[in-house]
Each structure stands twice: as structure tokens, then as C-alpha cells.
Chain A
Amino acid sequence: MSEPLKQSHYPSPSRSQDVVSRTLSVIVDNEPGVLARVIGLFAGRGYNIESLTVTEVEHEKHLSRITIVTNGTPVVIQQIKTQLERLVPVHRVRDLTEEGGGIERELALVKVAGKGEKRIEALRLAEIFRSKVVDTSTEHFVFEVTGKSSKIETFIQLMSELGLVEVSRTGIAAIGRGAVA
């Protein structure tokens, strides 16, 4: 059917709102299955995940921080936050974007292979990006580059012309600005 369905006893998807991107910081008990709960919630309710990072950040209290970059309409974003808060092992959910934008950083390992001028050019560009060489042979480099996702995107794009072999990225780690947690 080509026309959008306007009449149904189920609510129609007609309400159009702009899609926004949000970075959420979710503090959870680091217990078995907690990540599955969070991911299952996103999958089950049809929410998007653009980036996800998770690791234990307070060992004594067994607290993990899950950083999720998601997108959706403002109504959906609100649902995501309240649904996350419903999960029993979740301590709190912070919307870093709404709070004025947290610091967001990503780390990438970028493998570039080549010889001659291209190899020199790759190294020169890496210096400009303050990237470190963490592995090398006469035929390749592995660069470690950190920064905003946009910077990493640019770096990868440049390297694609200089013998890019493969990329591994951590996804975004984020933290709120200011003196308090």
C-alpha cells in the first residue's frame, strides 16, 4: 500500500517529529545479564543504538557505566530514558546531550599498509592528528588515534587513500562537564 495508513485502531505512526541524536550515560550494577537487559530493551522496543560502550568503572561497588548514543524523536528519547530507569539494576540515567553536551571521546586503532611515498604521507598525517604508532613493520603501521568521532572519521577517510587495511573503534565514552558527577 503506497499511502500511509491513517485510520486504524492501533495508533498511527503519523505524528512526524524530527529525529535527534542523544548520548546517554547509564550507571548500572555490574551483575550478570545487565547488558543483555539494556540491549534487549532497545531491540524489543525498536530503539536505535548508534554506539555502545560498557565497562566497570567502580570496582568496589561493582558499578558499570554504559554509554549509549541513540537517536529518535523527542518522544521516543523520553521513552528510552524512562524505560531504562525501569530496569531494576539501573542506578541512574543521564542525558548528557540535554545537560549541555558532555565530553565525548573515542579511540580507534587504524591499520595502514604500503610503501614509499604513501607510507611517509600516512605517518605525516598521523602526526597532524596526534596519533601514536603502536605497531609497525617495514610495510605497515597501526595508529592509535583518539578524539571526537568526527576527527576519527576524517582520519580514517584520509587513510583510505593511503592503504587502509582495517579499523577497530571503541565507540564513544562520554562524561558530563563540571565539578560534580
Chain B
Amino acid sequence: MARTMTGAEIVLTALADQGVEAVFGYPGGAVLPIYDEIFQQEKIRHILVRQEGGALHAAEGYARSTGKVGVCLVTSGPGATNAVTGLADALMDSIPLVCITGQVPTHLIGNDAFQECDTVGITRPCTKHNVLVKNVNDLARILHEAFHIARTGRPGPVVVDIPKDVQFATGNYVGPSNIQHKTYRPKLKPDQPAVRDAVDLIASAKRPVFYTGGGIINSGPKASQLLREFVRLTGYPITSTLMGLGAYPASDKQWLGMLGMHGTYEANLAMHDCDVMINIGARFDDRITGRVDAFSPNSKKIHVDIDPSSINKNIMVDIPIVGDCAYALEDMLRIWKAKAPVLDKAAHKAWWKQIEGWRAKKSLSYKNSKDIIMPQYACQRLYELTKNRDTYITTEVGQHQMWAAQFLHFDEPNHWMTSGGLGTMGYGLPAAIGVQLAHPKSLVIDVAGDASILMNIQECSTAVQYRLPVKVFILNNEYMGMVRQWQQLLHGNRLSESYTEALPDFVKLADAYGWTGMRCEHPADLDDAIQEMINTKGPVIFDCRVAKLANCFPMIPSGKAHNEMLLGENISDEEVEHAISDEGKVLV
């Protein structure tokens, strides 16, 4: 039976019926009716951020760490435009979000009204879908459809733009059941012949490698379980993209570490020299492939992806499989078990021997120091002191992000939140707030850089208001480290605008926000300081002063293939400067 209520009530009722527990938002004129409803109910908790951008990243952190849809509520005009970065970020990394934006009353749309912007026009290319609701009787259906679209298929952000008069108007409410979208039908189950071909190819491989990505995480914990079972059954090596860390346990002996531009030597060489590549839920991003014409030249490639447009976009593959990773893995396992294939054990032994040779290069090694904290060492100690706890890690973007990916190891999915595709500085702190809200008892750490953290530092207030004890671990080298590294590699070490003069005193800054501030400058003090950070009840900013000019290695230099990686230890500054040819410098 249809119930009659106002548009604003419909919004809150729909959110409750969708099982939403928390909404991240910021009020303003065009969403006041919805905020009035929030005031008068107790089911849904509203988290007041300090800038709308923070709401989006917080919702992303919440979504990525729980597998649920993250929900945001922002006002029209500047509220919506501030949300754009987060929407683009969620689209690139396939994070399910529903973002409700207020809009000026329908009769004023197009009139350049106060705080008006063309929200659906602006957000069209950075959302999976968006809708302007003009009739209150469509509102409930559109909201339920928005959740369905956001969470199914390849997940992504959906914007629902609601004019203020629609929020005031009275209309019929319909519940989430029995809503079937007219056109949207993501393909979840893969075609069986393709899966059978894939299994045959996997079974006949001599030098195989699994290459997995964020699709496994998005598919849910079951996909991770199935992946583990399948990979162990085959005995094959496995690597993953930045977005897929945790899907396969990093502590396992078949794990090669992350691949790509700053991936391990063994992972990248295995990708380059393999004869069968099994890509499950990754998209051949350019940070992975390097030079496409030199990418894994002698392999047959299998690609499982829920998004048909990802297939053959960057790299041509031999066996494309469109479907959800969990379904595909389930089918592969079943067929594999039924066939019980005889594997080429001798070839696999030789392959592993080769991989062990690459591993022996210890591509993540670095020159440690007794006097200054090396950033890699800081990440190593942070890992050692947190690994036996229930720890969630978020990051900002830059060198610290890569070091975190290299030195913090993840054994479970949904514990690693980072901005991969868009590379959004300022992601980590609000994301940590979202994660902590969903996991109040867990240890949530934002591994940050001194430049990135300032991009959303205002969210420190949010953490205090909601008593969220997040820890911000800043690898402070006073530079935009990755920019500086590239300037050294590509631009004759002319450090144009990459040194941050006039950094704030992070300890005093923490104090001003009501956080605990800590500083550590000597390697000998590091363990105790990290322990103190962990033991501190409330939020902490940890200003970890690290070596200023450390570079992030290993690295595939521009214009080079996977088997031409630069390794970190013993590399001279001269070699670093000449690592990239002139042609390679242009399009980096």
C-alpha cells in the first residue's frame, strides 16, 4: 500500500529501507527540508563533515571497508561542485556511492538562481548514473534504483538531484521491493564455454601468473575466498594491483607482491615472462602495463571483468570473460575439480625457480640509516607494530602511498583504502573517518604525506566531534615527494614548486584541533613512539620526520618495459637522472 509523505520524508524513509546507517553531509539552503527530517528521526546517523569533499571520501572509506553503499548529502551549487572530485574518484575506483544533492526549486532551474548549478550536467561524466527528480511521485523509485545501480554490476557513484520544492511536495512512497529497472541489467554470470576454455588454458600453462585487482574486493568476501582456494589448488604465483591488495594474503608463499610502476621485481618480471596471464578483476591500467607494445609479449591472456568495456580497451586478450569475479571463480573451480587436470610439474618447478631468482634481488631493499628515519623503515615498523591488531589503512597519494603499499602487508580484503585511479591527494583522512565510523573498535591509520594531509585537514574537527580515534601517520619530508622524484628523474632535478615552505607545526596543529600531536625524528625512538600512538585513546597526528630526498623504488621508468626496472639499492644519482630517455619524458 502506498504511503503518502513529503519528499524529504521519502528520502529518509528510502534510506532507512535501504539499510543505511550513516549519511555523510553538509547542510545548506537547498537541502534544509531533508535536514529537518534528519533532526526528527533516530534511525539514520548524520556525520557532519567540514567540507563536502570530505563527505565523499568518508563515504568512500565507509563503503570500501564494509562493502555497503556509502551515502552523502550535500546542498546545491557549491555543495555539488565540491562533491565532484569524490564522485570522479569513486567512478575510477568503482566505489558504490549514492550522493543526494539539493537543487533550487524546479521553477527556478535555468534561471541562475542563488546557489544554482547544473548538477546533472556537471556530474554526468563523473558518475555511473545521475537523475534530476522533477516529480515527487518518482522520488522513492529513483532513490531505490540509485542504490541498485550503485551497488550492482561494476559499482560506482550515483547522484540524485532533488529540487527544494520536490522535497516539500507530498507524494506516494514505494518500498524497495518489486522495483525493477527498465534498462539496467548487469551481466553477472559468465558464459560457460569461455570459462571452460580458460580452465584448459590455465591447466596447460608452463609459466602462469594470476593478476588480480579491485574487482575481487568489490565482488565481496566470497570472491576472495574462492580466489584463495583456486590459486592454492593450482600452486601458481599471484600478484595484484594497488586496488586489489588484501584479496590474496600477502603472507602466503605464492604471493609475489604488488605489480606495476612501483611493484616488486618478481611480480613485474613474472608478468613479462609468463605464458598464461589470468587477469581477474583488474583493468590493464597504464600504471600496470607500462609500454603496451612491450607488455607481456609472449603470453596468452584471460581477462575476467564485469564491465565489457574494460575488455580489449588497453590490452588485447585471448579469452575474455564478462561476469562477476565470484561467479567466474566458482565456475573455474568447479570445472577444474571435475577435470582434475594433469599439470606440467617440471615446468612449474622451473618457473618458480626463476621467480625465486628474481625474488632474491630483494627489490624493496633500501639503505637504512641510524641517524635519520628512512620512510621505508617507518612503514616497516608501522606494519610490525600493528600487524597483530585489527588494523585498517588508508592513504593519501604520493610516495608514502607507494611505500605503504610495498611495506604494509594485507591478509584480508577491505582493509586497504586508497585512491588508485584518480590519485586524489586529500583522500586519506576523510576516508579514515568513514572507516572508523564503520569499525569503531578497530585501529584506523591514515598513512599520509605532509603535502596531501593539508588538502583535507579540516576534517580533523569531524573526527573530534564524533569521537573517532583515527591516527594520521605523516611521512614528513617537507616535499611533495613523488613530484620531486619525477622532477629529479625527468626534469633535470629542477624542483619547481615541490618544496613545501611554511609547513604548519603538525604537533601544534593537532593540539589546536583537540587531537594528540606527536613528533619523531630518530630511528631509535620510532618503535616507542608508534606504540604510544597506538595506545593513545583519541585521534593522533604523528609527525614522522623522514629522509627528505628518498626515492620510491623499484620503479619502471617511463618508456621502459617491465623487465627494465630500476632497483633502489646501490643506484647512483647519475643513473637515476639518465634512466628515462628524452622521448619517455614527454607523456609521463
The answer on a CB contact under 8 Å between B261 and A9 is yes
Chain B residue contacts of A78, Cβ below 8 A: 312
The answer on a CB contact under 8 Å between B183 and A8 is no
Q: Pick from A3, A36, A83, A88 the residue with the most CB of B within 10 Å.
A: A88
Which residues from 36 to 61 on chain A have a C-beta closer than 8 Å to any C-beta of chain B? 36-37, 40, 44
The answer on a CB contact under 8 Å between B309 and A5 is no
Which residues from 1 to 54 on chain A have a C-beta closer than 8 Å to any C-beta of chain B? 1, 3, 5-12, 14-15, 29, 32-33, 36-37, 40, 44
Chain B residue contacts of A113, Cβ below 8 A: none
A91 to B182, CA, bound (A): 8
Which of B292, B309, B556, B557 interacts with A11 by CB under 8 Å?
A: B292
The answer on a CB contact under 8 Å between A88 and B124 is no
The answer on a CB contact under 8 Å between A15 and B293 is yes
Which of B129, B184, B587 interacts with A9 by CB under 8 Å?
A: B587
By beta carbon, the residue of chain B nearest A41 is B125
Cβ-based interface call for B581 (8 A): yes
The answer on a CB contact under 8 Å between A9 and B293 is no
Given contacts A37-B124, A88-B149, A89-B183, contact A8 B312 (CB under 8 A): no
Cβ-based interface call for B240 (8 A): no
The answer on a CB contact under 8 Å between A12 and B586 is no
Chain B residue contacts of A44, Cβ below 8 A: 125
Cβ-based interface call for B132 (8 A): yes
A146 to B316, CA, bound (A): 42
By beta carbon, the residue of chain A nearest B124 is A40
Given contacts A7-B558, A8-B291, A8-B584, contact A32 B132 (CB under 8 A): yes
CB distance from B200 to the nearest CB of A (A): 25
Which of B124, B125, B183, B289 interacts with A29 by CB under 8 Å?
A: B183
A40 to B586, CA, bound (A): 28
Cβ-based interface call for A85 (8 A): yes
A78 to B310, CA, bound (A): 11
Which of B292, B309, B587 interacts with A79 by CB under 8 Å?
A: B309
Which of A9, A79, A90 interacts with B290 by CB under 8 Å?
A: A9
By beta carbon, the residue of chain A nearest B586 is A5
The answer on a CB contact under 8 Å between A33 and B556 is no
A37 to B123, CA, bound (A): 11
Cβ-based interface call for A86 (8 A): yes
The answer on a CB contact under 8 Å between B308 and A9 is no
Which of A7, A79, A88 interacts with B560 by CB under 8 Å?
A: A7
The answer on a CB contact under 8 Å between A10 and B588 is yes
By beta carbon, the residue of chain B nearest A92 is B183
Cβ-based interface call for A75 (8 A): yes
The answer on a CB contact under 8 Å between B309 and A29 is no
A88 to B286, CA, bound (A): 27
Which of B129, B261, B588 interacts with A8 by CB under 8 Å?
A: B588
By beta carbon, the residue of chain A nearest B127 is A88
Cβ-based interface call for B307 (8 A): yes
Interface 1/0s, chain B 295-309, versus A by CB < 8 A? Answer: 000000000000111
Interface 1/0s, chain B 561-588, versus A by CB < 8 A? Answer: 0000000000000000000010110111
CB distance from B565 to the nearest CB of A (A): 13
A85 to B556, CA, bound (A): 35
CB distance from B215 to the nearest CB of A (A): 15
Which residues from 410 to 433 on chain B have a C-beta closer than 8 Å to any C-beta of chain A? none
Which of A1, A86, A89 interacts with B586 by CB under 8 Å?
A: A1
By beta carbon, the residue of chain A nearest B311 is A82
Cβ-based interface call for B531 (8 A): no
Interface 1/0s, chain B 120-146, versus A by CB < 8 A? Answer: 110011001100101000000000000
A62 to B366, CA, bound (A): 64
The answer on a CB contact under 8 Å between A29 and B182 is yes
Chain B residue contacts of A5, Cβ below 8 A: 583, 586-587
Chain B residue contacts of A79, Cβ below 8 A: 309, 312-313
Q: Pick from A1, A10, A14, A36 the residue with the most CB of B within 10 Å.
A: A10
Chain A residue contacts of B309, Cβ below 8 A: 79, 82-83, 85-86
A28 to B255, CA, bound (A): 45
CB distance from A34 to the nearest CB of B (A): 10
Q: What are 16 A-B residue pairs whose CB atoms fall within 8 Å in the complex?
A: A6-B583, A7-B584, A8-B584, A9-B261, A9-B286, A9-B556, A9-B584, A12-B293, A15-B292, A15-B293, A36-B121, A36-B124, A44-B125, A78-B312, A82-B311, A89-B183
Chain A interface residues toward B at CB < 8 A: 1, 3, 5-12, 14-15, 29, 32-33, 36-37, 40, 44, 75, 78-79, 82-83, 85-86, 88-91
Question: Besides A82-B308, A89-B182, 20 other CB < 8 A contacts?
Answer: A7-B558, A7-B583, A9-B287, A9-B290, A9-B557, A9-B558, A9-B559, A10-B587, A11-B289, A12-B291, A12-B293, A29-B183, A33-B132, A79-B312, A82-B307, A83-B309, A85-B308, A86-B308, A88-B129, A91-B183
